[in-house]
Amino acid sequence: MAEPTRRQPDDPASARLWGGRFRGDLDPTIAAFTTSLPFDRRLYRADILGSIAHATMLGRCGIVPADDAAAMVRGLREILSEIDAGLLAIEGAEDIHTFVEATLRRRIGDAASRLHTARSRNDQVATDLRYYLKTEIVKVVGRVVALEQVLLALAEGHPSVIVPGYTHLQRAQPVLLAHHLLAYLWMLHRDAGRLRDVFARTDALPLGAAALAGTSYPIDRELVASLLGFAGVIPNSLDAVADRDFAVEFTAAVAVLMAHLSRLAAEIVLWSTTEFGFVDLADSISTGSSIMPQKKNPDAAELIRGKASRVTGDLVTLLSMLRGLPLAYNSDMQEDKEAVFDAVDTAHASLQAMGLVLHGIRFNGERIAAHLRGGLMGATELADALATRGMPFREAHELVGRIVLYAQDRGRELWELTPDEYRQFNALLADGAELATPAGAVANKRSAGGTAPARVAEQLSAARTAVTETLSWLAALPAPPVERETAAAEPGPAPGR
């Protein structure tokens, strides 16, 4: 039997983290098909910091010589610094793990061959993705709370503006504009809460599970978790490498967030139409038509609305990919990253764009006031007044329906009918005109969470507290020790760089 060809360290095939039992090179088409570097390159920071923590642990536990561990840490920090500075291109490898290790080997020699001791790419990539997502969750929460602050400022800036409230896109009951805006703030606050929940379940270390069964080396997983800022370690090695619940949960949370942004965007699109005219959008956030000179289009809002479907697709991709996978790792799971990355990018871009849209929005008080006419939106107040004065509500509903027809036939608003006209229907409604005004209807909604001014003032106070609580959570998150130590070890820029 012919002896297998021994590859030299500089051979392209030697850059792979496997190959000793293979006689030939991988077919180029299969190599291109299986490579993940085009997309997992964005995990470089998580991968290198994870390797620094791993190498540190190997040295402290006496698994590799202390000098080799120190050389690996120095070399990895140098690689990270050069990539960050744009001085080192990520290319020419099967995946980000292979690139980092091959680059380290070229820098420090044989000591780099010890880096992969007591780990597998299976637990390594799971660690990379969790570390990366923790960072991105914090950034997304920061953008969410920033958008909450914009909504809060808009609500505080329009405390007495009344707008039509809609059901079925038909005018229903008047509400304060601040109340309407705060509805979206509370949606976003729940989104921030969901993302924080995902952060807590992402905050567990897979490294040390190795390929699937753990390792025979005397490793210290808790030390690695501490260095990387993880709250603890995943207790089951099979689950550690096979789990992607955290990725599904993150994408699901972002899908709900995008649904909320899409609803807000749809309302902005509607309100900016000539038919509504509730808002004017700044030129800086609008676009024109290539054929119609008069057009001013809310493209940014429309794109936010459309991009929500992308993240829904990302979520379906992840759920479909995981469904039916046997334990433990399978290459199908390589497909998780592009879906997660797309959800991350879409969330960041959409939140940023929505912030600009809201900063550039102006409410048109005259057009809003004009839309308070014509909908007979005080009818519910009349029915409620009759019910509180002793008439069964269903009977009151029927009577007010006749009053609505009476006003419609005469082209008048309910608040324009005279006391005598109301008495013709029922003496209990002599004050019906006052009850039916937009201001009167709003003032009567004093139930908890209602649109009465006093209740909205309470809601504004609660919203400020909620925003502060999220900001406090963000401020309390410490930088992982490996980040702090790496930053402290980096030299200053070279002269002329």
Secondary structure element (H or E) that encloses residue 322, with its range: helix 299-322
Enter the tokens of residue 111: 């000591």
Residue written as token pair 């949606």? 187
Please state, in angstroms and rounded to a whole number, the distance separating the CA atoms of residues 322 and 244. 8
Please state, in angstroms and rounded to a whole number, the distance separating the CA atoms of residues 418 and 411. 14
Terminal CA-CA length for the chain: 56
Would you say the C-alpha torsion 465, 467, 473, 479 has a positive or negative sign?
Answer: negative
- Other Cβ atoms less than 10 A from the Cβ of 495: the count is 5
The model's pTM: 0.91
pLDDT of residue 15: 56
User: 138 in the Ramachandran plot: left (φ > 0), alpha (ψ -120 to 50) or beta?
Assistant: alpha
Identify the CA nearest to 217 among candidates 203, 207, 225, 226. Answer: 207
pLDDT digits (tens, 9 = 90+) for 294-332: 888 899 999 999 999 999 999 999 999 999 899 988 888
Which amino acid is located at 29 in the chain? T
Would you say the C-alpha torsion 338, 343, 349, 350 has a positive or negative sign?
Answer: positive
| Residue ranges in the chain modelled with pLDDT below 70 | 1-22, 34, 490-497
Contact 201, 185 (CB under 8 A): no
Give catalytic status of residue 371 as yes or no.
no
Contact 376, 173 (CB under 8 A): no
The catalytically annotated residue of 51, 97, 160, 168 is 168
User: 218 in the Ramachandran plot: left (φ > 0), alpha (ψ -120 to 50) or beta?
Assistant: beta
Kindly list the structural domains of the chain, giving each domain's residue range(s) and its CATH number in brackets, ordered by start: 26-114 (1.10.275.10), 121-367 (1.20.200.10), 379-443 (1.10.40.30)
Alpha-carbon dihedral 283, 287, 289, 290, rounded to 10 degrees: 110
Tell me whether the omega of the peptide bond preceding residue 240 falls within 30 degrees of 0, making it cis: no
Q: Which residues contact 39 (CB under 8 A, 6 or more apart)?
A: 337, 338, 341
Cα 496 versus chain centre, distance: 40
Please state, in angstroms and rounded to a whole number, the distance separating the CA atoms of residues 5 and 495. 46
pLDDT of residue 490: 65
Identify the CA nearest to 180 among candidates 157, 167, 153, 162. Answer: 162
- Other Cβ atoms less than 10 A from the Cβ of 331: the count is 8
- DSSP-based three-state secondary structure for 13: helix
- Other Cβ atoms less than 10 A from the Cβ of 177: the count is 22
pLDDT of residue 216: 97
Give whole-number Cα distances, 483 to 214, 379, 409, 476, 486, in Å.
26, 62, 73, 16, 5
Contact 92, 60 (CB under 8 A): no
Please state, in angstroms and rounded to a whole number, the distance separating the CA atoms of residues 456 and 458. 5
- DSSP-based three-state secondary structure for 334: helix
Strands 232-233 and 204-205: parallel
Between CA 379 and CA 386, with CA 381 as vertex, the angle to 5 degrees is: 100
Contact 133, 246 (CB under 8 A): yes
Residue written as token pair 């949370």? 253
Phi, psi of 137 (to 5 degrees): -60, -45
233-259: string of b/e by CB count within 10 Å (b at 16+)? Answer: bbeebebbbbbbebbbbbbbbbbbbbb
Residue written as token pair 């609505």? 404
Number of residues that this document lists for the chain: 497
Please state, in angstroms and rounded to a whole number, the distance separating the CA atoms of residues 55 and 147. 41
Give catalytic status of residue 168 as yes or no.
yes
Exposure of 99 by Cβ count < 10 A (0-12 exposed, 13-18 middle, 19+ buried)?
Answer: buried
The catalytically annotated residue of 120, 158, 260, 289 is 289
Give whole-number Cα distances, 19 to 35, 90, 165, 189, 213, in Å.
15, 22, 66, 50, 22
Q: What is the CA radius of gyration of the chain?
A: 31
Contact 377, 173 (CB under 8 A): yes
